[in-house]
Amino acid sequence: TIGAIGYAAYDIYNKRHPFEQKSFDPTKRTIVLLGTGWGAISFLKKLNTDDYNVVGINVKRFLSVLADVVISPRNYFLFTPLLPSCTVGTIELRSIMEPIRFITRHKSRNVKFFESECTDIDPESKTISITDVSDIKGAVSNSTIPYDYLVVAIGADNQTFGMAGVREYACFLKEIWDAQKIRTRLMDCVESAGFASQPPEEVNRLLHMVVVGGGPTGVEYAAELHDFLKDDLELWYPELADKLKITLVEALPNVLPMFSSQLIQYTERTFKQNKIEVMTKTMVKEVADKEIKVLKANNEMVTIPYGLLVWATGNCPRPLARKLMARIKEGQTSPRGLLIDDYMRVVGAQDMYAIGDCAFSRYAPTAQVATQQGKYLANIFESLARIEEGQNKKIAPFEYTHQGSLAYIGSDKAVADLPFLNGNVSVGGVATYVFWRSVYISYMFSFRNKFLVLGDWTKSKVFGRDVSR
Ligand code: FAD
Ligand code: NAD
C-alpha cells in the first residue's frame, strides 16, 4: 500500500512539475523516431537521452466521421488492449490516451516533437519528408529532416485484401476515431430501428451487428457488444433488445486460433450461451452498404444484411512501409512488412531500425512484442554510445519472452494461455477476468490512466453505460 501511494504521489508530482531539460546538442547524434505507439513509446521511455538528440514524428490525421466530426490529432499514446471497451462506453476514450508531451517532458534532454505525417524516407541521403496534414496550416507545411539513426515504429494498416466496399462501409477497430465511429453508428442503428413505422425486416437489418474476423480483436468486440446489450440496451430499449443480433464471421475452422483448443471450445461455448452466432469456415467475399455476401464451406453463397459492420481481419503494411521496401534495393522480399535482423536493423539499409507491427519478424504483431523490441533497441543505443566512448560492450541478439495471451470473451469471463513453469497453463472464467483486468491495469503507463480506467469500470457498474451518442 505504501509503495502504491508513493508511486501515485511521484507520478502526480512529476506530471505537474516537469524538470529542467538539457537542450538539443549539435555534437550528439540525432535519432529520428517515427510513431507514438507501443514500440516507439517503450523505446523512448527506456532511451538514455544524455547520449542522443531525439526527434519524434507522428501522424496528424483527421477523419470525418459520420456528421463531419473532426477527430483529434494523435499526439498521444493509445493503450489498444482496452479499445474494444471504448466502443460501448465501458471505458471512456480519454482514459486510455496518454499525451506524448507527458512522456517527452520527462526525458533528460528536450525531445523535439512534430505532429505530422512522414511521407517518404530516403535511405541514400538519410532524410525523411514530413507534412502537416491538419486543416489549419502555418506558413510551412512540408519539411525535410536529416537523421543519423532512424527508428521506424509506424505500426500497420488494416487488412482489407483490396475488397471493394470495406473502407467505405465497414468500421475498423485500431484507432480512437474507429471506436468513436463504432459507438456512434451502433446507437444510430438502435435509434433508427426504433423510428416510427419502421418495417420489421428493416428493424432486423438495422439491429444485426456483424463482426468479420475471429481473431482477438473481433472476439473482444463481439464480447463487449454482448455485455452492452445485456446490461444496458435491454433496460433502455426493451421493445428492441430481443431483436438485436450479433454474428461473428471467421474464415478458419475456429475463432482465436492462437489459443489452446480447450480455450477455443470454452470461448465458442460462452458465445453460444450469449447468443452470439459464430459462423466459422465462412469467408466474406463482397461488401455493400447494407449487406455482405459470404462463401460457406459447402460453396454456398449467402447474403447477410447488416446495420453495423466491424472489420477485424488483421494487419498489412502501411503505404510508407511499402514505399520504403521498394526504395531499399536489397533484401526486402517480404510482402508482410519491413524485414529486420535480430538487432532490429532494417535489412538492406544503413542506420535504420524498425520495431513493432511495421516490422516482419517471426513473432506475432502484438503490443508485447513491440514493447520488448522497443526496450531492446534502447539498450542497443546505450551500448553503441558506450562503445563510442571506448568501452568494450557486447550486444546480444534480441530474444522474445512470451508472457502469455489474454482475451476478454464477455459476461465477465476471459481466457488466458500462460506459459508458466515448463508448460502452458490454459485458464478461462471469472477469476481469469479479474486477472485480465489487473494485468491490463498494471501495464498502463501512468497512474493517471490507471485511476481513470478504475473509475470508468466502477462508474459503468454502478450507473450503467452511457447510451447517448
Ligand atoms: P502502433 O501502436 O499502431 O503505433 C504506430 C504509430 O505510428 C502511431 O502513433 C501512428 O500514428 C504512427 N504512424 C503511422 N503512420 C505514420 C507515418 N507515416 N508517419 C509517422 N507516424 C506514423 N497486443 C497485445 O499484446 N495485447 C493485447 O491485448 C492487444 N489488444 C489489442 C486490441 C486492439 C483493439 C488492437 C487493434 C490491437 C491490440 N493489440 C494487442 C496489438 C497491439 O495494439 C499492436 O501490436 C501494437 O499497437 C503495435 O505497436 P506499434 O508501435 O508497432 O504500432
Ligand atoms: P488476426 O490476424 O489475429 O485475426 C484476423 C482473423 O480474420 C483471422 O482469424 C482470419 O482468418 C480472419 N479473416 C481474414 N479474412 C477474412 C474474411 N474475408 N472473412 C472472414 N474471416 C476472415 O487479427 P486481429 O484480431 O485484428 O489481431 C491483430 C493482432 O493484434 C494479432 O497479432 C493479435 O494477436 C493482436 N491482438 C491481441 C489481442 C489480445 O491479446 N487480447 C487483442 C487484439 C489484437
CA-proximal residue: ligand 1, atom 20 (nearest):
58
Q: 312 alpha carbon to ligand 2 midpoint, in Å?
A: 6
Q: Is residue 8 part of a domain?
A: no
Per residue in 56-109, pLDDT (tens digit) is 665 433 332 222 221 233 688 999 999 999 999 999 999 999 988 888 877 777
Chain-centre distance for alpha carbon 93: 13
Same domain, 179 and 278: yes
pLDDT band at 309 (very low <50, low <70, confident <90, very high): very high
Q: Is residue 468 part of a domain?
A: no
Q: Is residue 398 part of a domain?
A: no
pLDDT band at 426 (very low <50, low <70, confident <90, very high): low
- Number of structural domains (the chain) is 2
Same domain, 95 and 238: no
Ligand 2 in reach of 415 Cβ (< 6 A)? no
Q: Best substitution site from 172, 217, 413 to test ligand 2's pocket, by max atoms within 8 Å of Cβ?
A: 217
Which of 388, 423, 444 lies at the terminal end of a domain, its last residue? 388
Instruction: Determine how β-strand 208-212 pairs with β-strand 308-311.
Output: parallel
CA-proximal residue: ligand 1, atom 27 (nearest):
81
Q: Is residue 396 part of a domain?
A: no
Query: Are 232 and 465 within 8 A, CB to CB?
Result: yes
Same domain, 24 and 96: yes
Annotate 70-121 with three-state secondary structure: ECCCCCEEECHHHHHHHCCCCCCHHHHEEEHHHHHCCCCECCEEEECEEEEE
Same domain, 301 and 417: yes
Same domain, 432 and 295: yes
Q: Is residue 247 part of a domain?
A: yes
Query: Are 285 and 126 within 8 A, CB to CB?
Result: no
Which ligand has the minimum distance to the alpha carbon of residue 443?
A: 1
Same domain, 418 and 352: no
Average pLDDT for the chain: 89
Highest mean pLDDT among 151-160, 386-395, 416-425 belongs to 151-160
Which three cell numbers mark 455?
473509475
Same domain, 213 and 117: no
Which ligand has the minimum distance to the alpha carbon of residue 286?
A: 2
Same domain, 172 and 310: yes
Per residue in 176-190, pLDDT (tens digit) is 999 999 999 999 999
What DSSP designation does 328 have? S
Ligand 2 in reach of 460 Cβ (< 6 A)? no
Same domain, 296 and 331: no
Element (H, E) at 458: helix 447-463
Q: Is residue 414 part of a domain?
A: yes
Same domain, 22 and 55: yes
What DSSP designation does 333 have? -
CATH of residue 23: 3.50.50.100
Q: Is residue 250 part of a domain?
A: yes
Tell me what the mean pLDDT of segment 348-360 comes to.
96
What DSSP designation does 230 have? I
CA-proximal residue: ligand 1, atom 14 (nearest):
154
DSSP letters for 252-321: SSSS-TTS-HHHHHHHHHHHHHTTEEEE-S-EEEEE-SSEEEEE-TTS-EEEEE-SEEEE---EE--HHH
Residue whose C-alpha cell reads 521496401 in the numeric block = 325
Q: Is residue 1 part of a domain?
A: no
Q: 345 alpha carbon to ligand 1 midpoint, in Å?
A: 20
CA-proximal residue: ligand 2, atom 3 (nearest):
215
Same domain, 121 and 93: yes
Q: 365 alpha carbon to ligand 1 midpoint, in Å?
A: 9
Which of 388, 421, 436 lies at the terminal end of a domain, its last residue? 388
Alpha carbon separation from 343 to 8, 376, 462 (Å, rounded): 35, 8, 49
pLDDT band at 173 (very low <50, low <70, confident <90, very high): very high
Ligand 1 in reach of 357 Cβ (< 6 A)? yes
| pLDDT (0 to 100) of residue 61 | 36
Chain-centre distance for alpha carbon 29: 31
Ligand 2 in reach of 84 Cβ (< 6 A)? no
Range of the domain at 416: 166-315+404-463
Which of 353, 388, 423 lies at the terminal end of a domain, its last residue? 388
Same domain, 252 and 337: no
